[in-house]
Chain A
């Protein structure tokens, strides 16, 4: 069990890093989707008028 702390830290960094990145980009995607929907609604309203 020697040096197990280094192994644990490495695995925590890997999974922490990957999940953090996924959370950030998925969050960005959600915001952008809302923005696109809003803009398209504005366009549709404009076309209707």
Chain B
């Protein structure tokens, strides 16, 4: 590597890191409780507790749950019904002021064996986890906030790649994992920054990269609606809105037949953004950690319960869906969550030590900095064309 090349990598690493560090620290800190959101919500009493019942207890018809939701939230529309694969006894119904609403939504948790409403959560309630979630996802700023954080994530990815590039020249004369504790605090933290950064580099690249992809989720879904959903529902364009809806239970039977060996993740009701005015749109999933994330839409006529269309998701939605578990770390049980949290804490230390190194920097030209780094490393950095310094 020439001096000029090293200088370029070093400056790009420094500036991309500096710009994104504050936001990445916020993302790592808010991400930490989000890794354990299920456990924390249970502790805080924010999730419904289901009663123990004998295995095989029959579930109540879906239409009864829908009627109960309409009774609970008069004047609101039923938008979605969803099921959590970790808590199969629960059915969640989302209601809103209209079918395309994004705000003022309510979430009703039903025990699907009794039909009892266990919990009503308002979208406007600001719980601890909700604050962590919104800060982490969009800084309470909607799509612009998401895209901004996505840009910060991109800078983070560039900082990691350039960090690998400068790692080689900086560490070539040191044994792996060396931390020179007897030297100045700055040298000690430089060694720690390099060691912790290189040990966690693959995890940080994957979680950072998938985080960036997740910030594009709204745009990806919008494009899918325009690209795929529109063509799936094209035969119904121009037809009058159905006056009444048919049975959700019958539509569910059709969806299960169309996607055997899969279970519903959620169903979007007619008239919403994920459906058409004429369809129940079922989003089916498998039962393995990966296939549980790969949704398959099944459109069922909301009046006749006849199958309209089903197809696999296109590559760009599949990429988004696969990126989600790789970002959340929620696909390998509690041990994986603990590992995720440890990597997250190490990343906080890497970010913090990088900031410390910059604050304690010596205000010298980069050529002198390279000479200082050579002194710190106890040997030349192995850069070609040293005479050009």
Q: Is B one of A's binding partners? A: no
> Which residues of B come within 8 Å of A, CB atoms?
none
> Which residues of A come within 8 Å of B, CB atoms?
none
